[in-house]
Structure 1
């Protein structure tokens, strides 16, 4: 397949994956609070179950891809399973079965996005800058969908969630079937085991720790976005607009990557943490939805810097034979463990002390993560001199 065709194919896959995620999983909190009468604590518990199972899923699915050296087959199977699980969640007759469906969905959906990114990066070994612009278009599609979804849910209802998600997921399976698999390495099973246990540099573990701390603070800002909006008089439509601002900023930063490309991955990781803290401070001080829109734009800018830097740091630091698992480990720490702890604690804080107090706690946790991230330079130097 020609390079331009390959880029178009991966652009479609990124867009369809995030359209699938955005049309269902992003609105889970809205779904359970509006249709099942769940409290903020219950919504946080549901998201915690989703993220907890994703922790296991990152290891299992990433390890499966490293062993098989075939991200394409695993991605296609994952998208089909996602459709079935979303239907189970939506039509579940009670909260127990809904929670069980969230556990299974969390095991599959976030790891599937991570292996798609690894598949994309491996397909352009001589063009490391190819990832950001392609991934940016996935964010743009997500941003457009967020505006539309908020309006559709208010006018039609939550039934649009499984309907649209199914269409997007099945289209992604069709597109993936036409894409080539281009593995980076062909590690033996025994070598993969040695890499996993003995060869990860200390900088990787410090990076994972910092990502986990930042995830605890950052994930509730997205997953509890509806409750944050409602605290200043916003609605589900306001949530969609704020999410659109967030993802448009993410798109712009990743699409026009040259200004940030002059800095190392470590420097960009550090800067993104500072931007996250600035956006959270603005959220804590805001009294209108318009200030929250601006804070969401800054938050999206931070993630637009963080995500490519995170991927580049892993590709530069981790052994090639274990990159699927290390990408998954970074996602596990930030998205899954961070979401697991952050969503549950934030729900409790909102119910007991209010949204503003939760935001102040998040800001304090972000400052701790920033301090750990600043230690990466020293850890990289020590690894290089072993």
Structure 2
């Protein structure tokens, strides 16, 4: 927790606004995103085509994220880009209610182009505000996890009363509330234009060997998360679990992010970024290893308490590590490149690999491969930690 007695009022106000922004966008995303594939199928798009659309969307987000980051760093239009990343997808969600496949696909791809920059740009804003407010990025990001958990639950309640084609209405309302919060944010982080060219900045960032190794480690660690995001429900049912227990497991996993992200500041101060990343990677491996060894529904529910210690802790430490490695001039670019590897490439390869493993050898083969992958990432992070010690 920050010491409010020595933090300027402007910085405290900015932190409050950003926490509200993460809560509102978390609510909007948690309410809408989990049901998007179901909405597409309901509107007449075949399940096989939906999978293709999602893959193309992920690839598109990988392509546009660094472009947005470079534009933000060059022209210092953080607020404008953040507004667009919230308002455009929210407005386009109206078109998902049309029973025209071409209209839905066009709206979806345009949404991806703008929405893909929301997380890295918001993170660059939050890291800067956290530093000024003498607190941790995790105390801001945890509100996003709370919003996602509550939004997913609220989405289920909404759909029990209204049709899925009307889900865009609460999504639009919550998103516009988030956009209104963005309008109140300070423009202090945008005052100085970048003194370096775009190509020079990206070359310097990717020319850092430790940073490149960090990205590769993140890929090996986070590609395993698709075993939870995409295949947990199927694996849980194969183990004999019920739908009611699935909901309990998913809610438990989301809620564990909150204390982990709040405690991240103390852990980072105590052992540093590199060791925190290594610790979180170990919890990833432990999480998958236990599910590999004990494919029992009760164990698979209980093990979700490690979601916060794996994903939640890793993500906060990684975002702050990227902020430190990127420097003030390349914040949005650094976060975009990280997000491109962490969520983009990791998501595509993870879905393809874990999907193949699940359908060819079952959940146990998938969890074993995830354990090995997380341990490889942990080994790379151990090497980074040793190198950082030698250079310090």
| Same fold by TM-score greater than 0.5 | yes
In structure 1, what is the equivalent of residue 231 of structure 2? 224
CA deviations 1:48-72 (Å, max 9, x no partner) are: 2232111112112111211121211
What is the SS of the residue equivalent to 1:129? coil
Q: Distance in 1 between the 2:94 and 2:374 partners?
A: 36
Per-residue deviation, residues 196-246 of structure 1 (Å, max 9, x unmatched): 113542111111111122222113421334333433455665444323211
Match for residue 209 of structure 2?
202
Q: Residues 377 and 288 of structure 1: is their aligned pair in 2 closer, same or farther, counting only changes over 3 Å?
A: closer
1:82 corresponds to which of 66, 75, 89: 89
Structure 1: gaps of 5 or more residues: none
Distance 1:347 1:91, change over 3 A: farther
Counterpart in the other structure of 2:321: 313
Match of 1:281 in 2: 289
The residue correspondences of 1:8-157 to structure 2 (distance < 5 A) are: 8-31=16-39, 44-89=51-96, 91=98, 93-94=100-101, 101-153=107-159, 156-157=162-163
Pick from 241, 249, 257: which aligns with 2:256?
A: 249
Distance, in Å, in 2 between the alignment partners of 1:185 and 1:374 is 38
- Residue 347 of structure 1 deviates from its aligned partner by 3.0
Does the CA-based 8 Å contact 1:151-1:237 persist in structure 2? no
Q: Indicate the larger mover: 298-307 or 196-205.
A: 196-205
Distance 1:75 1:126, change over 3 A: closer
3-state DSSP of counterpart to 2:365: helix
Give secondary structure in 1 for the equivalent of 2:187: coil
- Answer yes or no: is the 8 Å Cα contact 1:270–1:374 preserved in 2: yes
TM-score, normalised via structure 1 length: 0.87
Select the residue among 295, 298, 306 that pairs with 1:298.
Answer: 306
Q: Per-residue displacement from partner, 1:269-293 (whole Å, max 9, x unpaired)?
A: 1111111111122333454543222
User: Take 1:134 and 1:225, find their aligned partners in 2: how far apart are those partners?
Assistant: 28
**2: distance between equivalents of 1:235 and 1:160?**
28
Q: Retained in 2: the 8 A contact 1:78–1:112?
A: yes
Of residues 67-76 and 365-374 in structure 1, the stretch that sits farther from structure 2 once superposed is 365-374
Residue 324 of structure 1 deviates from its aligned partner by: 0.9
Match of 2:194 among 166, 188, 192: 188
Tell me the SS of whatever aligns to 1:183. helix
Task: Give the Å deviation of 1:151.
Answer: 4.6
For the 8 Å contact 2:326–2:334, the answer to whether it is kept is yes
TM-score with structure 2 length normalisation? Answer: 0.86
1:369 corresponds, among 377, 381, 385, to: 377
Secondary structure of 2:185 counterpart: coil
2:330 matched residue in structure 1: 322
User: Which whole-Å CA distance do the structure 2 matches of 1:35 and 1:351 have between them?
Assistant: 27
Query: Mind listing any 5+ residue stretches in structure 2 that lack a counterpart?
Result: 1-8
Q: Secondary structure at the match of 1:120?
A: helix
- Cα distance in structure 2, aligned partners of 1:350 and 1:98: 30
Distance change (3 Å), C-alpha of 1:229 and 1:380: same
Separation (CA, whole Å) in 1 of partners of 2:226 and 2:12 = 35
CA distance in 1, matches of 2:157, 2:293: 27
Q: Which of residues 176, 184, 187 in structure 1 aligns to 2:182?
A: 176
